[in-house]
Structure 1
Amino acid sequence: MTESGNPSEPAQPANVNVNVNVNEYNSSHIQVLQGLEAVRRRPGMYVGSTGERGLHNMVYEVVSYAVDEHLAGHADVIDVTITAEGGIRVVDNGRGLPLDAEGPSGKSAVERELTELSFGPRAHSGYGVCGGLSGLGLCVVNALSSRLTVEVRREGHRWTQEYEKGTAVTPLTRNEETSEHGTTITFLPDADIFETTRCSFATLSERFQELAYLNRGLAVSLTDERPERPVRYHHVDGLQDYVARLSPYPASPVHSPAVAFESENEDGTICVQVAVQWNTWLPGELRSFANSTRTREGGAHEEGFRAALTSVVNEYARRQRQLSPDDEDITAGAVSEGLTAVISVKLAHPVFGGATRTRLTNPEANAYVQDVVSRHLTDWLDHNPNEAASIIRHILNAATGRGRW
């Protein structure tokens, strides 16, 4: 018999509300977020966090637009300023954001870029490679800023427009004539969203120096008006300079200079840059990047690099009889002893694991990096026999000393 005493009435589970009307759950209960409201409600999905990391990602997102202009051949200078009130101003000498009205709304391309989420490449951009963290561009920064001002120097005039929390509050306005070109974006992160709105000069400075290494010929400056502390980075030798900075101090190179090479495929959809330097100090360090963003969890490009490096070293050592036919292959771990390396790939269609691009998953990156490293490193070893012999001896000595070969 049931607790109710009625044998024909089944017992109800203790937590069930028998009075619920299922018809009360309908389309009115489904909340649809319009425009950039989704970004403001879930900022961590777009910039990684609402802490300092997310705050700095806002800056990187704006700077990445300017880097894209450099990669497209239209900009060579980026000036970043932390303003006295804690905002960020990014100035580039690229083409300037497009001004044309687009679509049925009649909005300018500037306003669409700053207010519309787009998960595909912009038709007007002309970029073969695009950076950025979320892949959603400047509109995310606009949505998460209490104020944002855009200035475009293009078509013989200076144009300006102002926004508040992602919404335009002034029309795109034509100002005085100018022969200059480029874009300036000034934004103040929204204190109602971020746990802190105070950017770290040291963190930004390190990232901008990294960008200068990764994008040879690009000059990036950072000025802090709280008080002023200007720095400027410009590295003519790109990744070779980067490897030199990452190598142990005091310097203890097994060979000199660093081995560096780059290659781009025929259709321009992937470019690979590599620099390597073996040192007597152990261990080494490997840093990888995809579209100028650090891939801290590695991925396909790192896997391709390690596979090619191990194969090339073993093949060369056997051809030069530094390994006998009876010796086992040198392991990947042994090859990496004392190695400082930087790998940078730039792809037209990168695929990442995670919203903030920590691991690259493109299989073509693995294959192309393997091919480039195999060809170029083999050629370098063949043309530099003395340095090559030193590298193999260093690897064999390190491996023997650690019992790893």
Structure 2
Amino acid sequence: MAPSSEYNARHLSVLEGLEAVRKRPGMYIGSTDSRGLMHCLWEIIDNAVDEALAGFGHDIKVILHADNSVEIHDDGRGIPVDVEPKTGLSGVEVVFTKLHAGGKFGGGSYTASGGLHGVGASVVNALSSRLDVQVDRGSKTYQMSFRRGEPGRFIDSGAKPGPNATFEPFVENSVLDVVGKAKRGVTGTRVRYWADRQIFTPDAKFSYDDLAARARQTSFLVPGLKITVRDERKLAGTPGEAGVHEEVFHHDGGISEFVEFLAADSGVTDVWRLHGSGKFKETVPVLDENGHSKIAEVERDCEVDIALRWGIGYETTMRSFVNIIATPKGGTHQSGFEAALLKTFRKAVETNARKLKAGNDKIEKDDILAGLTAVLTVRLAEPQFEGQTKEILGTSAVRAIVAKVVEKEITARLGSANRNDKAQSALLLEKMVAEMKSRISARVHKETQRRKNALETSSMPTKLADCRTDDVARSELFIVEGDSALGTAKLARSSDFQALLPIRGKILNVQKASVGDMLSNAECAALIQVVGAGSGRSFDIEAARYGKVILMTDADVDGAHIRTLLLTLFFRYMRPMVEAGRVFAAVPPLHRVEVINPGQKANEMIYTYSEAELHVLLSNLAKEGKRYKEPIQRYKGLGEMDAQQLAETTMDPRHRTLRKVGIESAQRAEEVFDLLMGSDVAPRKEFIIAGAATLDRERIDA
């Protein structure tokens, strides 16, 4: 086949750089699956955000079209349309066809931006089967199209544009077409592209949830910026499966509001805001007047802005950003932040060791980070990242600047004479010391504890009725409500593999309580000791003494409340047991119906587990002409059953029903637990009032 007559030196100059992107896409976007597809989208969105960050735009729209294309609008200054003198190409073509080209190198257009390598737009272009860009500038609308990085024009025969339309590449000179008029003073850029399916895997697709999360995150980081996300794909399993779905993200509170959004537990402190800046010198190659590179020492400014708060929980939620670009794997800014926290709080605990009863032990980083929710942002010109995916900040001087700001601000907060600050600081130091003691106790326990059987000595609580087996997978721990139920359960259980632990009444609500209060509570401490795997961040599921933990409470309102309190304890301090599917709720029957059999045949006992099930049973008995003894027994508690009934209905694996406690959505579960069990009363009151109209009074067990 003869080579195309249109293939000339100009095509070579345009494609030589972008062909490298197509051959090795992983070097630029990480992968060619959904993750890489989303990274391309982030590149274009980040360019729009950089305009807003520089103060030139306030509105961004992202549209996921049904034809698998994606469109991004912004109201920034618009990509330059004039000719760039070195290449003789329009600014639009330079941005979309030249690697390492853009407005973020010289420092004149952007002081701090997310896109810094100058390859984002051109990489997306190279990996797209079609890309259209429109720019509003100077009361005109300009347009240029590309196919796999090559500029030209698509001849769209139908009403809808697409990558399969006839393409005419530019042969001699590129042309930036004027396709319309823009309103006076209106500027902006619109980019629509179709990802190249020759590059990306067949199952790669845009994730609406990831896009919405990123849009929400960015709206927090750039106060006043409005980001609209619109999904027109109608994909099953997405919020827009029933029709077009649109969300608008707009937050004026900045990263303080971001921390409040991320924090799920009750607060030990308010949101603390730490501000500061520093200067550093960096030796980098710069371009002189003739375009030649030379090594020079430049002075940089680094601005630090941090929002953080501690809650009663033990999990750490940290988000770090450089020029609003997320760095999920941290970097020098995060290491400086953590080092400063450790240094500052160690000093504070040592100073107040006697008051806090800390002894000679030192708090560790994990003790400080427990319950922390933080958003860490730094802004600087030309940060050094490790790779184009920008997941790790590598600029070494940032570590010392962040550490200095954090140390100064936290020290001032801890030494503040303000009454509220003093109270919060005292509670925070007490929490950290409690975490330290819990960690040390868990380590000692792990070193000394091993699975005990009934024939060996044990340091377990005396009220524990343990089982004989050493097989953890087979063993079961029943947590029973009260001593009366314990007596019946002892007779009903199989002592070979079923252990019993009674609890007295309603245990502590650990959603409101501190770690210290939880550890000092007798019922909570006994339960944690019996499970044998520690608590909080030191929980080791491999050390758990039982394969199943079964909550066996009465089938009434109080029983449901006790079960909820127990689940709160497991969710807050022994969550891996729940995540592993090893926590269950027993399902005791509500009714026992004694069906009268004729003649000498013994009467039949039938158990039902709900009012609806009872009505169906009675209706069926009536149809069959069978009689039953009145009154029907309604079990108010486990103590009303004899051992045989309890074993047959609730404890014997051959007949019982168990409900597995699972966490389909950890974040949603966290929100529900905090709503129902947290210390903030107002949201719970609103929830109760909102649901009052749907309450069935007949279901109230009173």
Normalising by the residue count of structure 1, what TM-score does the alignment of the two structures yield? 0.85
Displacement of 1:371 in angstroms is 1.2
Displacement of 1:79 in angstroms is 1.0
Match in the other structure for 2:342: 310
Displacement of 1:41 in angstroms is 1.3
Match in the other structure for 1:253: 267
Displacement of 1:326 in angstroms is 6.6
Distance 2:146 2:310 in 1: 51
Q: Does 1:208 align with 2:215?
A: yes
SS, match of residue 403 in structure 2: helix
Displacement of 1:353 in angstroms is 2.4
Match of 1:188 among 174, 184, 194: 194
Aligned AA for 1:172? L
Match in the other structure for 2:246: 230
Displacement of 1:103 in angstroms is 2.5
Distance 2:106 2:177 in 1: 24
Displacement of 1:96 in angstroms is 0.8
Match in the other structure for 1:18: none
- Kept after mapping to 1: 8 A contact 2:130/2:145: yes
- Kept after mapping to 1: 8 A contact 2:78/2:135: yes
Q: Does 1:402 align with 2:439?
A: yes
Q: Does 1:88 align with 2:70?
A: yes
Match in the other structure for 1:176: 181
Identify which range, 89-98 or 381-390, moves more after superposition: 381-390
Aligned AA for 1:397? A
Match of 2:149 among 166, 180, 184: 166
Normalising by the residue count of structure 2, what TM-score does the alignment of the two structures yield? 0.50
Alignment of 1:63-74 (within 5 A): 63-74=45-56
Aligned AA for 2:250? H
SS, match of residue 385 in structure 1: helix
Distance 2:92 2:313 in 1: 51
- Kept after mapping to 2: 8 A contact 1:318/1:324: no
Match in the other structure for 1:280: 312
Match of 2:321 among 279, 283, 289: 289
- Kept after mapping to 1: 8 A contact 2:44/2:120: yes
Distance 1:122 1:195 in 2: 33
Distance 2:105 2:395 in 1: 21
Distance 1:156 1:87 in 2: 27
Match in the other structure for 1:9: none
Deviations 1:247-277 (A, max 9, x none): 23xx311122x11233344676322221111
Distance 2:83 2:119 in 1: 20
- Kept after mapping to 2: 8 A contact 1:158/1:178: no
SS, match of residue 245 in structure 2: coil
Match in the other structure for 1:388: 425
Identify which range, 66-75 or 289-298, moves more after superposition: 289-298
Aligned AA for 2:391? T
Identify which range, 150-159 or 372-381, moves more after superposition: 372-381
Distance 2:356 2:363 in 1: 9
Distance 2:247 2:382 in 1: 33
SS, match of residue 440 in structure 2: coil
Match of 1:38 among 5, 17, 20: 20
SS, match of residue 399 in structure 2: helix
Match in the other structure for 1:219: 226
SS, match of residue 131 in structure 2: strand
Aligned AA for 1:388? S
- Kept after mapping to 1: 8 A contact 2:136/2:188: yes
SS, match of residue 389 in structure 2: coil
Match in the other structure for 1:370: 403
Deviations 1:291-326 (A, max 9, x none): 323322222111100111112223334455645897
Distance 1:207 1:134 in 2: 21
Distance 2:406 2:386 in 1: 24
In terms of Rg, which structure is larger?
2
SS, match of residue 34 in structure 1: helix
Distance 1:325 1:206 in 2: 41
Distance 2:81 2:53 in 1: 21
Structure 2 gap ranges (5+): 1-14, 154-174, 235-243, 280-298, 444-702
Match of 2:275 among 262, 269, 272: 262
Displacement of 1:119 in angstroms is 6.7
Structure 1 gap ranges (5+): 1-32
Deviations 1:97-140 (A, max 9, x none): 11120124421111101110117844486111221386512111
Distance 1:326 1:201 in 2: 51
- Kept after mapping to 2: 8 A contact 1:149/1:186: yes
Match in the other structure for 1:353: 386
Distance 1:118 1:140 in 2: 10
Match of 2:92 among 107, 110, 116: 110
Aligned AA for 1:245? F
Distance 1:173 1:357 in 2: 35
Displacement of 1:155 in angstroms is 1.7
- Kept after mapping to 1: 8 A contact 2:277/2:401: no
Q: Does 1:242 align with 2:279?
A: no
Q: Summarize the Cα distance change of 1:108–1:122 in structure 2 as closer, same or farther, 3 Å threshold.
A: farther
Distance 1:360 1:218 in 2: 25
Match of 2:43 among 55, 61, 68: 61
SS, match of residue 36 in structure 1: helix
Distance 1:147 1:385 in 2: 60
Deviations 1:164-203 (A, max 9, x none): 1111114212221422111111111111111145311111
Q: Summarize the Cα distance change of 1:132–1:350 in structure 2 as closer, same or farther, 3 Å threshold.
A: same
- Kept after mapping to 1: 8 A contact 2:273/2:307: yes
Distance 2:225 2:278 in 1: 22
- Kept after mapping to 1: 8 A contact 2:228/2:248: yes
- Kept after mapping to 2: 8 A contact 1:57/1:133: no
Aligned AA for 1:255? T
Distance 1:202 1:331 in 2: 36
Match in the other structure for 1:154: 137
Match in the other structure for 1:28: none
Q: Summarize the Cα distance change of 1:46–1:269 in structure 2 as closer, same or farther, 3 Å threshold.
A: same
Distance 1:125 1:184 in 2: 23
Distance 2:439 2:254 in 1: 33
Match in the other structure for 2:619: none
Q: Summarize the Cα distance change of 1:56–1:290 in structure 2 as closer, same or farther, 3 Å threshold.
A: same
Aligned AA for 2:138? E
SS, match of residue 262 in structure 1: strand
- Kept after mapping to 1: 8 A contact 2:336/2:402: yes
- Kept after mapping to 2: 8 A contact 1:134/1:356: no
Give the count of matched residue pairs: 370
Aligned AA for 1:246? L
SS, match of residue 375 in structure 2: strand
Distance 2:373 2:256 in 1: 11
Q: Which has the higher helix share?
A: 2
Deviations 1:197-220 (A, max 9, x none): 531111111111121222222222
